[in-house]
Amino acid sequence: MAAFATADICDANERLLESGDLRILHPVFKIYGRSQAFFGPIVTIKVFEENLLVKELLEAGGEGRVLMIDGGGSMRRGMVGGYLAQLAKNMGWSGILVNGCVRDVEEINACDIGIRALASVPRRCNKNRIGEIHVPVHIGDALIRDGEWLYADSDGILISKTELSITPAKN
């Protein structure tokens, strides 16, 4: 995957930022995984302290997409652990954003995938298969829809209504 910079994307798309077609997520997400920068079309899922549907989505294959998990911001259970991170990588997902926590941080950080989450916590999720897939989700003050695009690097996370042209990051 070509390197890019979200700062350069913002500079090149000021009109989209002003119109709201390109949004910057609040800088509350921590960086996990070996891939510092990732992008792709978004697949949304809304679950709460539950990750069986997350596993099923990851198993279906990513084809370069980004899984956006709205876990309601829960800080009590890890939505994604080492096993799911490796599964995502193996199944072709570009990255994962978790509005909640991860666990197994050492395993995740050894995996060549990009993951953003609010924090880490050691407790695992429930396995009840409860949730909604491909629905709009609210992350912070942003409404995010299935099929929009996510661009993440060490500077931040962008959400675009459409795919953006990206150029390699300046050195």
Burial letters for 129-162: b for 16+ Cβ neighbours within 10 Å, e otherwise? eebeeeeebebeeeebebebbbbbbebbbbbbee
Known binding positions for Mg(2+) = 104
User: What are the binding residues?
Assistant: 81-84, 103-104
Is 108:82 a contact under the CB 8 Å cutoff? Answer: yes
- Write the Ramachandran bin of 122: left for phi over 0, alpha for psi from -120 to 50, otherwise beta: alpha
Residues 6 or more apart whose CB falls under 8 angstroms from that of 32 comprise 85, 102, 105, 108, 109, 115, 116, 117, 120
Count CA atoms within 13 Å of residue 68 on its CB side.
30
Binding-site entries for substrate: 81-84, 103
